[in-house]
Amino acid sequence: MENAIAWIFIFPLIGSVLVALAGFVNRKFCYPISVLSMAGSCWAGIETLRQAMSSPSHEVSYILGGWTLDLFPRGVGIEFRADILAALIAMIVLGVGLIVTVYSKIHVEKETPNKESVYYSLMLLQITGLAGICLTGDAFNLYVLIEVAALTGYGLIAIGSNRAAAATFNYLILGTIGASLYLLGVGYLYIKTGTLNMVGIREVIENSKLANSETLQVAFVLIGVGILIKMAFFPFHAWLPNAYCNAPTTTSCLLAPLVTKVMIYVMIRMILSVFGVKFSFESTIWVSWMPWLVVIAIVCAAFLALSQREIKRMLAYLIVAEVGYMVGGVWIYNYYGLIGSIFHIISDACMTLCLFLGAGIILHKCKTTHFDGLRGLFSRMPLTMIGFFIGGFSIIGLPPTCGFFSKWYLITGGMVSQRWEYMVVLMFSTMVMVILFFRLIERIHLAVDESGKNLGKGHGDLGLTKEQTRFDEAPLIMLIPLLVAASIVLLIGVYNQDVVNQIEIFLKAYGLPTGVKYK
Amino acid sequence: MKILSLIPIIAIGGLLLWAAQDFPKWGDVESPASKSPVSSHFIGKTGVDTEVPNMVTAVLADYRGFDTMFETVVVFIAGMAVLAILKGSTRGNSRRKDHEVEAEPDLIVTNTVRLIVPVIQIFAFYVLAHGHVSPGGGFQGGVLMGASFILIALSWDLEKAVSRFSIERCMIVAALGIVIYGGIGLLSMMLGGEFLDYAELERVLPVSREMARYHAMLGVEIGVGFTVTAIMFALYANLSSEGSLKQGL
């Protein structure tokens, strides 16, 4: 299909309008329309990825409006550019979107009654925005799509309780600041280069020796900080935990795996495609201190996660820590580190999805996600718990889950570039993750309460009645998405070499150092 | 707290000033943004490519029409999000019981509005349809149109305005705007071009490729106008009554 890349956003766009209109006819139509349009979009995503991998230049370029690319610098008309990285991340966005849409049925009916049409419409537009961010090759178009993704995000979170509305307000202020800084940076770029096309900007920077231009330096800072705010990097993370914990379940399942990860993708895209590797790493001073900021970020986020007594809130802080991993992988300025970062975007999206789907099921069944309410869950819902802990093991980094392999590359990157601080903090945070998840496993298997008091008689006796430990699995429509997500985590782990090969094909063109470059 | 928040402001302000020393001179023809072939393409070729005399409209609705489509979607999302948050909320019902005014609409005000509203609406159509030639277009025309409904709500009350233009109808019209915009893009894709490649519409329109772009731009501006009109009013109606759609300001 020639226009596959366009169908990626056309399907959910049509879907969202249809869903909005279907709400006035019969709300029952909303769910099937959403699932169908997401399935169509996924198919287009797979097709685009296939085209990108099989084309000789390893990318698909698509000019919206049929304009020309012949000028130098290019930039008449908006370009969609799916190189392998963009197509891979877009595929992850669409896949997660499809799984969450299938999963959403019961939660949406229960948590946002009478608002299904608005909810699904916003959800489809959210996925459109995120997939568009991955594919666009135009710096200003990226801003517009960030707006689409952000505004739908505010709506999707605030649709829940009154507390969610308060959390959204924080998110809205910080998100707007981040987006404004980005926009200001794009303005500065345009003043100096005269084009908005990402590749066009890079060509101008490289050809006209703009490396020491103050304007570009400031543009880099503005865009960098704007994106760091958007991705909830540690000192700017304050909006994330409240927003994700008070949001309706489906919203957190959709936003948690995607939003922060897509923003890290934007950072990588800005470094590789817009400013260029040489400018970003060698003409700015970020390389020297970013890894140290990452160290602080990971340590603080790990401790904050450790102090939580509630699954969703703990997971929210885990995301903040994971953001630290990926940002660090980029800024240690190393080929392997960047492979690790990109691979970790993919695996982190899958495992966070697993965990949030699992937490959603627990919330649905137990009415709470507090640690104290988990006793006996393994005998009640063995399949759900297996899915949940596959995600957990992947966060820790146990083979053969994908989290092991991405962390492997990150640590390799830290070693070969001799950024020992980054390597040590990765090890440290792995230990913290082990504590976090084995503490949870203990909670669902052993009968010890908060103060250490023995509740059961030992030998697997949890001190619960037969009623409370009876097999009571989640509804299939929720269980199957979770198990699919868990098997994706395992599959990416088993076939990690194929994923890494594709990432290497993409990264080879950028001439990153494979040894120590900084110092 | 106030002093703390001064620190980042001064830092960013200083950064921006520091960057300004490197700026090209004001209005410099040699500056990259004016010299770049992209700008000269817009300035020199707009008339050739699209037959549209107003360069701004051509850049907005054609060269960068994809941005504008998503800007329209953003407007639509804003309406949906407000609806999502306020629909069925009980916040609006319990408020300002004590100073609720049960006054008749003022005779002079309502009669003036009766005279003004049709003029505003015709002007809105003019601004919308004349966007190619003079400043104007879908967003501006849509805002004027929406303002005429808000004026009705202000001078009578919200119920009267909502009885003319109910919120359901607002959302349908807003969705229709997106359908028109996206539909024109999709149609041009179906006819063999890329998404939003209006020139391909020559196969269904009895005009040249350039005039096809001209007419398609009018089409998408109408779509934008639909969405903006409806969402302007829906936002006002929902926010002024906190979702209850009664009384209003």
pLDDT tens digits, residue range A174-206? 999 999 999 999 999 988 888 889 988 988 888
Answer for the pair A145, A129: CB distance below 8 angstroms, yes or no. Answer: yes
Nearest residue in B to A76, CA atom: B38
Q: Is A518 helix (H, G, I), strand (E, B) or coil?
A: coil
Cis peptide before A56 (omega within 30 of 0): no
Using only C-alpha atoms, chain A has a radius of gyration, in whole angstroms, of 23
* Min Cα separation B52/chain A (Å): 16
Mean pLDDT of B146-155: 92
* Rounded Cα distance, A41 and A47, in Å: 10
CB pair distance less than 8 Å for A67 and B65:
no
**Touching check for A194 and chain B: CB below 8 Å?**
yes
Tokens 């704007």 sit on residue: A226
Q: Helices in chain B by DSSP H: which ranges?
A: 2-20, 32-35, 37-50, 55-58, 65-86, 107-129, 138-155, 158-164, 167-190, 209-240
For residue A129, pLDDT over 90 is answered with yes
For residue B86, what pLDDT is reported?
A: 84
Mean pLDDT of B31-60: 83
Cβ contacts of residue B188 below 8 Å, gap of 6+? B194, B195, B196, B197, B198, B199, B200, B201, B216
Looking at the partner chain, which of A132, A155, A200 has a beta carbon nearest the beta carbon of B84?
A155
Confidence of residue B131 (pLDDT cuts 50, 70, 90): confident
For residue B98, what pLDDT is reported?
A: 47
Torsion of CA A368, A372, A377, A378, to 10 degrees: 140
- Which one, of A289, A275, A394, A300, lies nearest residue A346 by Cα? A394
* Rounded Cα distance, B213 and B40, in Å: 20
In a domain, A235, yes or no: no
Looking at the partner chain, which of B22, B41, B77 has a beta carbon nearest the beta carbon of A151?
B77
CB pair distance less than 8 Å for A75 and B38:
yes
Mean pLDDT of B22-33: 79
* Rounded Cα distance, A368 and A382, in Å: 18
For residue B172, what pLDDT is reported?
A: 92
Cβ contacts of residue A95 below 8 Å, gap of 6+? A42, A45, A488
Confidence of residue B71 (pLDDT cuts 50, 70, 90): very high
For residue A302, what pLDDT is reported?
A: 93
For residue A65, what pLDDT is reported?
A: 80
Least confident of A121-130, A445-454, B44-53, B66-75: A445-454
Cβ contacts of residue A339 below 8 Å, gap of 6+? A409, A413, A500, A503, A504, A507
For residue B130, what pLDDT is reported?
A: 87
| Number of structural domains found in chain A | 1
Looking at the partner chain, which of A3, A200, A214 has a beta carbon nearest the beta carbon of B18?
A214
For residue A382, what pLDDT is reported?
A: 87
For residue B123, what pLDDT is reported?
A: 94
In a domain, A374, yes or no: yes
Please give the share of chain A, as a percent, with pLDDT higher than 90.
56
For residue B50, what pLDDT is reported?
A: 84
Chain A partners within 8 Å of B73 (Cβ) = 13, 125, 128, 148
Lookup: tokens for A134: 């991955």
For residue A464, pLDDT over 90 is answered with no
Chain B partners within 8 Å of A191 (Cβ) = 23-24, 31-33
CB pair distance less than 8 Å for B195 and A65:
yes
Answer for the pair A87, A499: CB distance below 8 angstroms, yes or no. Answer: no
Answer for the pair A369, A398: CB distance below 8 angstroms, yes or no. Answer: no
In a domain, A105, yes or no: no
- Which one, of A391, A349, A390, A388, lies nearest residue A369 by Cα? A388
Q: What single string gives the DSSP state of each residue in A235-259?
A: GGTTHHHHHHHHS-HHHHHHHHHHH
Q: Where are the beta strands (DSSP E) in A369-436?
A: none
For residue A192, what pLDDT is reported?
A: 86
Mean pLDDT of A438-461: 69
**Touching check for A221 and chain B: CB below 8 Å?**
yes
Least confident of A445-449, A500-504, B149-153: A445-449
Confidence of residue A462 (pLDDT cuts 50, 70, 90): low
- Which one, of B194, B183, B193, lies nearest residue B223 by Cα? B183
Answer for the pair A430, A298: CB distance below 8 angstroms, yes or no. Answer: no
Answer for the pair A247, A330: CB distance below 8 angstroms, yes or no. Answer: no
For residue B93, what pLDDT is reported?
A: 53
**Touching check for B172 and chain A: CB below 8 Å?**
yes
* Min Cα separation B83/chain A (Å): 8
Mutation to test the A interface, candidates B195, B210, B220, B226, most A Cβ within 10 Å:
B195
The B residues from 29 to 88 touching A (CB cutoff 8 Å) are 31-39, 41-42, 62-67, 70-71, 73-74, 77-78, 80-81, 83-85, 87-88
* Rounded Cα distance, A242 and A165, in Å: 10
Please list, residue by residue across A301-335, b when 16 or more beta carbons sit within 10 angstroms of its beta carbon and e when fewer do. bbebbeebebbbbbbbbbbbbbbbbbbbbbbbbbb
Q: Is A448 helix (H, G, I), strand (E, B) or coil?
A: strand
For residue A169, pLDDT over 50 is answered with yes
Q: What is the H or E stretch that residue A64 is in?
A: strand A59-64
Answer for the pair B66, A78: CB distance below 8 angstroms, yes or no. Answer: yes
Mean pLDDT of B188-208: 88
For residue B94, pLDDT over 80 is answered with no
* Rounded Cα distance, A291 and A328, in Å: 6
* Rounded Cα distance, A26 and A315, in Å: 36
Domain membership of residue A388 as a residue range: 285-519
For residue B248, what pLDDT is reported?
A: 63
Looking at the partner chain, which of B42, B84, B175 has a beta carbon nearest the beta carbon of A115?
B84
**Touching check for B195 and chain A: CB below 8 Å?**
yes
Mean pLDDT of B123-135: 88
For residue B162, what pLDDT is reported?
A: 87
Q: State the angle between helix axes of A311-331 and A402-416 in degrees (0 to 180), rounded to the nearest 10.
A: 40
